[in-house]
Structure 1
Amino acid sequence: MNIENFKDGLECLMYCGQKLTPEQKVLIENSLIVLQNENRFSGMYFWGRINGITRDYYIAFGYTQDCLRDRKYFYTLDGYQWMMLPFVHSPKIFQATIVCREPFIGDPVLITTVGLDPTFDIEPNQVIPAKLPEKVKLKEEDRLAAVVFIITEECAICPRGALYKLTDGRVVPNQMFRGLNDMQIENLSYYQILRLPRCDFKHNLLKRSDYNYAIDFLDCVADVIPSRQAFSINLMRNDRLVLIKSCLWLGMTFFHKLNSRKHGFLYFGDGRKNYDLLFML
């Protein structure tokens, strides 16, 4: 959620029980403005909160030129001192993060030993030997960075047309975007995943008759597996507001006001994925 819409966005998300205390609102908003000025970011966004047993992690990110490729993520425990999240390179860190079901504690330097799933090798003589599960030491700060990356990749949402791809390849906010109308607001095909596209542009091209590559280069929300079941959409007609909740990452909520530029997402949760979704449908 852009800090320009910080107060309005929190008011919209109060329908879902996602809120901050008045002191936290003032502290986080002012500290993010300072963080943006210090790093000379073109845009600054409040990502959300991951709940811990002793302390909670507040997450934010900013960018300089490209709002998809130049992101830098930060976290804070007190709402004032922001520290940069490390960039996770090791695939084993992501594997351990997915396997780990323990709650966050609130200590960035805490080390947790996680046992990965056993691996199997198929040999030419049809013998399938099993290897013992590997033990990985997972630092909570690295786990936090991996969880933030995974959640953003899977369920961060923006409305169609909110981002614009320039001829040089940079992606910037679309200044001509004026919001979705009443005919579009309840259609999941008008919402996109806020990350670099994984599908080929031809795949997205064939799905729309009114295709515009400058705004339709992102992947569609409706294609997230399970198809058209990964998100629930709620329309508040009196307030002309739409809320989209992720069913895979409970606590991730997107809001958008009809016929306006106001939109954003926030995650307030424990950082654990809902693997039981297919059994709940």
Structure 2
Amino acid sequence: MSAGEKNSAGAGRMVQLMFGIAVAASFLLPVVWLVAGSLRPGSEIFTSLDPLSIGTFIPPRPTLANFVSAFGGAFRRGLINSIIVAACTVVVGLLVCAAAAFALSAMQWRGREVAFAIVVFSFLVPEEVVAVPLSDIFARAGLQNTYIALIVPFVGNGMVIFLLRQFFLAIPRSLIEAAQVDGASWLRIFLQIFLPLSRPALIGAGVILFNGQWQAYLWPLLVTTRNDMFLAPITLALMVGEHTTDYGQIFAASTILSLIPAVILLGFQRFFTASAAMSGVKE
């Protein structure tokens, strides 16, 4: 490669780098502004004359008073409820979705393809279509304001079943046949062969379940009426007062709600990527 070609290639990479930095900055600036707003008094958040000044993104006198105030109100209970509901959804949802994916991939039975088509169709239907009639069913069953009502609808996730099934299809069929020759039952094959080999897929599925439950707003709003059962997104919405609003407290609560799933996603990013990459691989 000649010197001119090297210089041209280097200039092209530099342009790509600068473009990537510009795109990343456009996404990060609102996040930085959110975090900066959570560290300044609420009365100072919207008082900056120049919205692009350094003081807008770096508080001159940072304070944690907004976080203390947020944790001292109803948001703390909502955050605890969200953590409990999300954790239970992940644990129970992984067992249910993994069992369903195993039945749809490893076991041969009549109507399997029809059942899989129904699963695929289920995650194409918007939540709003079924939320109201389903909430009426839970209300008639006396399950309003319960953790059961908040958890159960999110346990069977069609997208998670689809991804796990695709991952299970990549597991060699010879392992199943060898286990059956040794007299292993389907339950043993599922617990001792499929689950240990599917750690990346299970972690990726858990992230999907957690994120879906963490962001849920419509369904918790329909099945909870008591303040002590509200989830964090609902308590955040209730912070907006009729006459006055503490924006510093709202920014702090929003930062907390955004930080928790971000940390989880970044921590398990490699597993999530691996599960998505392997979901289309077959033996």
Bucket of the pairwise TM-score, normalised by the shorter protein: under 0.3
Higher helix residue share: 2
Between Structure 1 and Structure 2, whose CA radius of gyration is higher?
2
Greater RCO, CA 8 A, separation 6+: 2
